[in-house]
Amino acid sequence: MRVILPKNLLAERLSFLERVIPSRSSNPLFTYLGLALGQDALVLFGSNGEVDLEAGLPAEVQGEGRYLVPAQPFFQLVRSLPGEQVELVLGGDLELVSGAFRTRLALAPTEGYPELSFPEPHPSETYPWQTTLPVEDLLRALTHVRYAASHEEYRAIFRGVQLEFSESGMRSVASDGYRLALYQLERPQPFQKKAVVPARSVDEVARVLKGVGAGEVVLALGPGTLGLAVREGEGWVRLAVRLMEGEFPDYERVIPKEFPLKATLEAEAFREALRRVSVLADKQNHRVDLFFQEGRVLLSAEGDYGKGQEELPVALEGTPLAVAYNARYLLEALGPISGQAALWLSGPTSPSLIRPAEEGLGYQAVVVPLRV
């Protein structure tokens, strides 16, 4: 069994697996990288028990078979190989040759390695529901809301990102119970389902989608699993992600609908001023006060070190008022917005809505003011 392929191609695809495969695990088999030899393709696979990942790449292949190689030394070696080509000879062990360098790595028996089930081109028993999205749309839906997921053990469901598929489109939602972020993709979906993906797995999926960059991704949903498949050049990447059990409690009711005050500010200038002023803020609640006045807003904060303030121009609609926020929550909610940001207040102590001032960009965040 023999494979010959360009070193750079192998190194590039290995990078997808490098963060998924753990260097230590209660199941030692998870520390191995899988190599499967198929027709004109080398398939790399790995898992951490939460995320399964497979990357297929075109290669000159003789024979077939499945092998497990110790992942960490393999990653390290491939990155630094001297030749342009890599030759892998698989049998009782793995012999790797590149330029003047050659190595023999011990293999692990493949018995006991879990069966990985990735989505197929057509709906299957594992994945009865399928849809296709542009890679950049799914990436945007995940990365716009990820920050709002909870880090707390309390209410475990909030440690995931909820994906909602329906006739009206696909929506991603994250919340920690104190703030909420959602992204609405106006693209009718062929089934009506909700799925909660653990936030850490969202990071892995986003990393792979970023690596792929463009194209279409097949999203396949089945009981307890979300599958993804994407073509990349002459190769492909497939993922299977364990879902969380349950779904978010009804969050629609916390999204305010009436706004006595609507403010529009330049998002980046607002973020910079918030960062400066919040240096002085109380270390516990990160409180920054916003005093809206005609045409301007005064940001101020006070803590152990002293106090700071800054004024920004703002376009207002409604009755000026004073409000206070946790500066970190406000900064994170503003994070995905470029250009003009809209901050819509439902009152000095009731939830505020933050979104791009421009219509139809799909992102909105809810932040609750601090009690004055």
Stretch that binds its own copies, among 20-28, 79-87, 186-194, 248-256 (CB under 8 A): 79-87
8 lines the binding site for its own copies (CB under 8 A):
no
Min dist CB 303 to its own copies, Å, is 9
> In the set 24, 26, 39, 82, which binds its own copies (CB under 8 A)?
82
Q: Where are the beta strands (DSSP E) in 129-278?
A: 129-134, 160-166, 169-175, 179-185, 193-198, 216-222, 225-232, 235-242, 261-266
Selected from 28, 38, 101, 246, the binder of its own copies by CB under 8 A is 101
In the complex, what is the shortest distance from the CB of residue 80 to its own copies, in angstroms, rounded to a whole number? 5
Phi, psi for 309 (deg, rounded to 5): -150, 155
Residue of 23, 27, 62, 80 that binds its own copies (CB under 8 A): 80
- Tell me 132's DSSP state: E
Least distance to its own copies, CB of residue 69, Å:
9
CA 245 to chain CA centroid, nearest Å: 19
The nearer residue to its own copies, 170 or 324, going by C-beta atoms, is 324
Cite the DSSP H helix spans in 188-342: 199-212, 267-278, 327-334
Q: Which of residues 11-70 bind its own copies (CB under 8 A)?
A: 70
Q: Which is nearer to its own copies, 200 or 275 (CB)?
A: 275
**Nearest-angstrom CA–CA distance, 59 and 52:** 22
Q: Are 90 and 36 in contact (CB under 8 A)?
A: no
Give yes or no for residue 191 binding its own copies (CB under 8 A). Answer: no
Q: How many CB atoms lie within 10 A of CB 223?
A: 9
Q: How far is the CB of 93 from its own copies (least distance, A)?
A: 7
Contact (Cβ atoms closer than 8 angstroms) between residue 337 and residue 364: no
User: Which residues, listed in sequence order, are joined to residue 312 by a DSSP beta bridge?
Assistant: 297
Name the token pair of 99.
């330029």
**Segment interacting with its own copies (CB under 8 A) among 38-46, 103-111, 119-127, 135-143:** 103-111
SS3 143: helix
Nearest-approach distance from CB 76 to its own copies, in angstroms: 5
Mask for 296-325, x = binds its own copies (CB under 8 A) = --------xxxxxxxxx-------------
Q: Which one of residues 1, 41, 105, 361 is an interface residue with its own copies (CB under 8 A)?
A: 105
**Buried b vs exposed e over 181-192: b needs ≥16 C-beta within 10 Å?**
bbbbbeeebeee
Q: From the CB of residue 195, how many other CB atoms can be counted at a distance below 10 Å?
A: 21
Which residue of 4, 29, 77, 321 would you call a contact of its own copies, by CB under 8 A? 77
Give whichever of 70 and 177 is closer to its own copies, judged by the CB atom: 70
Q: Which stretch binds its own copies (CB under 8 A): 49-57, 183-191, 215-223, 267-275?
A: 267-275
Token pair in block for residue 229: 């498949």
Query: Based on CB atoms, which residue is closest to its own copies, 269 or 372?
Result: 269
User: Is residue 267 at the binding interface for its own copies, with CB under 8 A as the rule?
Assistant: no
Please report, to the nearest 10 degrees, the dihedral formed by the alpha carbons of residues 159, 114, 54, 36 taken in order: 170
Nearest to 147 by CA among 184, 185, 178, 174: 174
At its nearest, how many Å lie between its own copies and the CB of residue 70? 5
Among 104-112, 121-129, 160-168, 338-346, the segment contacting its own copies (CB under 8 A):
104-112
Is the distance from CB of 86 to CB of 12 less than 8 angstroms?
Answer: no
Only one of the segments 98-106, 117-125, 153-161, 230-238 lies at the binding site for its own copies (rule: CB under 8 A); that segment is 98-106
Query: Could you say which of 24, 26, 40, 76 contacts its own copies (CB under 8 A)?
Result: 76
124 by Cβ neighbours in 10 Å (0-12 / 13-18 / 19+) ranks as middle
Q: Which of residues 269-288 bind its own copies (CB under 8 A)?
A: 272-273, 275-277, 279-280
Q: Are 308 and 288 in contact (CB under 8 A)?
A: no
* Contacting residues toward its own copies, per CB under 8 A: 70, 73, 76-77, 80-82, 93-94, 100-106, 272-273, 275-277, 279-280, 304-312
